[in-house]
């Protein structure tokens, strides 16, 4: 296991300038440490239903043994969290364990902000490449070192109202959305659903939300069997023709009949939740709120329309914020806790996420968990943000994409010109050094 480089004063000051801002810190009640139990400090960014579910997983892990007691601290989602985590690691005040989005890890591994996982020790605890979908396990690596261990995959999916879709004649003999395999087939299906809906056939909220635009775009782009490459200091490796094709199809969906041209995220949620649309493009994290509406609901992986099964996703992943002299016993207990959480992550599926630990999703009980079992295959086809220090959930990268392409969806602007704008912004960003690693190089 390679030790990360020391974090210099220059790097610390550079990071402080680049990541200006503060995070509101809300610590959960630490509780009393049982005799002989060692406290573990755990930071995460999970709130709402996710936060409640995570608290239950932690409580179960704490109750299941007396060697450790995990004390969670919850911080604000997005840049405030990542700023606080980076500054804690750089300043010698890191917690024992943290949750990061897997897509953000590549920007933190260089420069010593994260420690690497001991793959052998994880394997001794039943956590290794055989117990994860390949794409999810491999995402944890930067170079030859494992920097994150995924708890889940949370992909973009297609939810649907079974009553509306049944009236539209788009369900198969098993009562599930019939298979489609081309853009034309999907447009036909969506128009049939629109004919039976009070609002639109499809709810898709994107206005002012770069992340929503990116999630659907990158799903369709990668369905061409391609990914975007972002070489540091170079030019974006992107097939502009394929990018235009993906964006043009999104434009076709937003025709005012299939989906509204002017729909923000909350409006799309409201339309589907009140039964005024039959289809809903969204993330798995909205499942619980939709189930609370008592809708006739099912869900599926986004159909493969361009040849290659692929869906945009990210993962909540466990990381080890850098500690200059970690206590060996504490560090080993962190490994035990992560293994305990993974093995007990069935309830995490209740929040809509797909547990990354295969023994959970392959268990017989998971097949009875609906509609989660109907989109669990998405874990085999996940595609994360292109790896670069400036990409990932909660980053400016997705907002920049939205800024470049929104008028294509809203006002019918030229998709080719929008992709050219996006490429220009990517190339400019690629020439900007990673503030966490101003000396250059990789982990």
What CATH number corresponds to the domain at position 67?
A: 3.40.190.10
Question: What is the tens place of the pLDDT at every residue in 107-134?
Answer: 888 778 999 999 999 999 999 999 999 9
Asked, for residue 369, whether it belongs to a domain, the answer is: yes
Same domain, 32 and 71: yes
Same domain, 371 and 391: no
The Cα–Cα gap between 350 and 50 comes to 9
pLDDT of residue 412: 87
Asked, for residue 359, whether it belongs to a domain, the answer is: yes
Same domain, 218 and 288: yes
Asked, for residue 234, whether it belongs to a domain, the answer is: yes
Asked, for residue 121, whether it belongs to a domain, the answer is: yes
**pLDDT interval class at 85 (50, 70, 90):** confident
Q: Which of 376, 383, 384 is nearest to 354 (CA)?
A: 376
Query: Residue 443: pLDDT above 80?
Result: no
Same domain, 308 and 159: yes
**pLDDT interval class at 347 (50, 70, 90):** very high
Give the percent of the chain with pLDDT over 90: 79
Split into its structural domains, the chain has a count of: 2
The Cα–Cα gap between 266 and 180 comes to 28
Query: Residue 23: pLDDT above 50?
Result: no
Average pLDDT estimate for 256-260: 96
Range of the structural domain that residue 409 is part of: 155-313+386-430
Same domain, 141 and 198: no
pLDDT of residue 49: 82
Average pLDDT estimate for 275-284: 97
Asked, for residue 439, whether it belongs to a domain, the answer is: no
Same domain, 420 and 332: no
Same domain, 400 and 254: yes
Query: Residue 308: pLDDT above 90?
Result: yes
pLDDT of residue 19: 38
Of 357, 380, 403, which residue is a domain's last? Answer: 380
Same domain, 166 and 43: no
pLDDT of residue 33: 52
Average pLDDT estimate for 369-386: 97
Asked, for residue 84, whether it belongs to a domain, the answer is: yes
Query: Residue 24: pLDDT above 50?
Result: no
Asked, for residue 1, whether it belongs to a domain, the answer is: no
Query: Residue 359: pLDDT above 50?
Result: yes
Query: Residue 250: pLDDT above 90?
Result: yes
Top-confidence residue, 87 or 191: 191
Question: What is the tens place of the pLDDT at every residue in 146-172?
Answer: 999 999 999 999 999 999 999 999 999
Top-confidence residue, 31 or 85: 85
Same domain, 348 and 369: yes
What's the chain's average pLDDT? 90
pLDDT of residue 92: 80
Average pLDDT estimate for 189-199: 97
From 85-89, 210-214, 349-353, the region with the lowest mean pLDDT: 85-89
Average pLDDT estimate for 409-424: 96
Average pLDDT estimate for 32-56: 86
Same domain, 211 and 340: no
Question: What is the tens place of the pLDDT at every residue in 206-240?
Answer: 999 999 999 999 999 999 999 999 999 999 999 99
Of 363, 380, 397, which residue is a domain's last? Answer: 380
Q: Which of 282, 127, 280, 261 is nearest to 215 (CA)?
A: 282
Same domain, 39 and 161: no
Same domain, 196 and 245: yes
Query: Residue 27: pLDDT above 80?
Result: no
Write out the chain in H/E/C secondary structure. CCCCCCCCHHHHHHHHHHCCCCCCEEECCCCCCCCCCEEEEEEECCCHHHHHHHHHHHHHHHHCCCCEEEEEEEECCCHHHHHHHHHHHHCCCCCCEEEEEHHHHHHCCHHHCEECCCHHHHHHCCCCHHHCCHHHHHHCEECCEECCEECEEEEEEEEEEHHHHHHCCCECCCCCECCCCCHHHHHHHHHHHHCCCCCCCEECCCCCCHHHHHHHHHHHHHCCCCCCECCCCCCCECCHHHHHHHHHHHHHHCCCCCCCCCCCHHHHHHHHHCCCCCEEEEEHHHHHHHHCCCCCEEEEECCCCCCCCCEEEECEEEEEECCCCCCHHHHHHHHHHHHHHHHCHHHHHHHCCEECCHHHHCCHHHHCCCCHHHHHHHHHCEECCCCCCCCCCCCHHHHHHHHHHHHHHHHCCCHHHHHHHHHHHHHHHHCCCCCCCCCCCCC
**pLDDT interval class at 90 (50, 70, 90):** confident
pLDDT of residue 29: 41
Query: Residue 355: pLDDT above 70?
Result: yes
pLDDT of residue 265: 96
Query: Residue 12: pLDDT above 60?
Result: no
pLDDT of residue 14: 43
Asked, for residue 30, whether it belongs to a domain, the answer is: yes
From 10-19, 256-265, 277-286, 304-313, the region with the lowest mean pLDDT: 10-19
Average pLDDT estimate for 35-52: 89
Of 380, 401, 416, which residue is a domain's last? Answer: 380
pLDDT of residue 436: 67
Give the percent of the chain with pLDDT over 70: 90
pLDDT of residue 439: 53
């Amino acid at each position: 296991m390679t030790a990360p480089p020391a974090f210099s004063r220059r790097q610390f000051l550079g990071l402080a300038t680049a990541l200006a801002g503060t995070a509101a810190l809300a610590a959960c009640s630490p509780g009393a440490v049982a005799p002989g139990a060692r406290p573990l400090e755990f930071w995460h960014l999970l709130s709402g239903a996710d936060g409640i579910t995570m608290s239950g997983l932690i409580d179960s892990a704490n109750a299941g043994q007396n060697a450790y007691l995990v004390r969670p601290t919850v911080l604000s989602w997005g840049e405030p969290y990542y700023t606080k985590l980076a500054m804690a690691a750089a300043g010698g005040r890191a917690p024992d364990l943290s949750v990061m989005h897997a897509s953000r890890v590549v920007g933190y591994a260089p420069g010593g902000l994260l420690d690497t996982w001991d793959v052998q020790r994880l394997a001794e605890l039943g956590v290794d490449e055989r117990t994860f979908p390949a794409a999810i396990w491999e995402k944890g690596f930067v170079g030859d070192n494992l920097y994150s261990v995924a708890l889940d995959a949370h992909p973009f999916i297609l939810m649907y109202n079974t009553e509306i879709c049944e009236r539209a004649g788009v369900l198969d003999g098993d009562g599930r959305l019939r298979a489609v395999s081309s853009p034309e087939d999907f447009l036909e299906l969506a128009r049939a659903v629109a004919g039976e809906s009070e609002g639109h056939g499809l709810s898709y909220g994107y206005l002012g939300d770069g992340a929503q635009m990116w999630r659907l775009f990158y799903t369709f782009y990668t369905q061409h069997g391609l990914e975007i490459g972002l070489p540091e200091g170079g030019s974006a490796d992107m097939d502009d023709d394929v990018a235009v094709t993906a964006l043009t199809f999104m434009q076709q969906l937003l025709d005012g009949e299939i989906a509204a041209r002017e729909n923000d995220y909350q409006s799309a949620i409201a339309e589907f939740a009140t039964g005024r649309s039959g289809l809903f493009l969204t993330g798995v994290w909205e499942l619980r709120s939709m189930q609370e509406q008592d809708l006739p609901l099912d869900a599926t992986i986004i159909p493969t329309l361009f040849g290659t099964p692929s869906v945009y996703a990210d993962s909540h992943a466990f990381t080890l914020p850098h500690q200059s002299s970690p206590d060996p016993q504490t560090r080993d207990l962190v490994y035990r806790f992560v293994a305990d959480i993974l093995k007990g992550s069935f309830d995490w599926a209740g929040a809509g996420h797909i547990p990354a630990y295969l023994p959970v999703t392959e268990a017989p009980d998971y097949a009875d968990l609906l509609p989660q079992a109907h989109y669990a295959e998405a874990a085999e086809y996940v595609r994360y943000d292109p790896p670069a220090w400036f990409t990932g959930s909660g980053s400016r990268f997705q907002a920049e994409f939205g800024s470049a392409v929104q008028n294509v969806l809203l006002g019918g602007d030229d998709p080719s010109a929008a992709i050219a704008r996006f490429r220009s912004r990517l190339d400019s960003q690629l020439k900007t050094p990673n503030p966490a690693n101003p000396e250059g190089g990789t982990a």
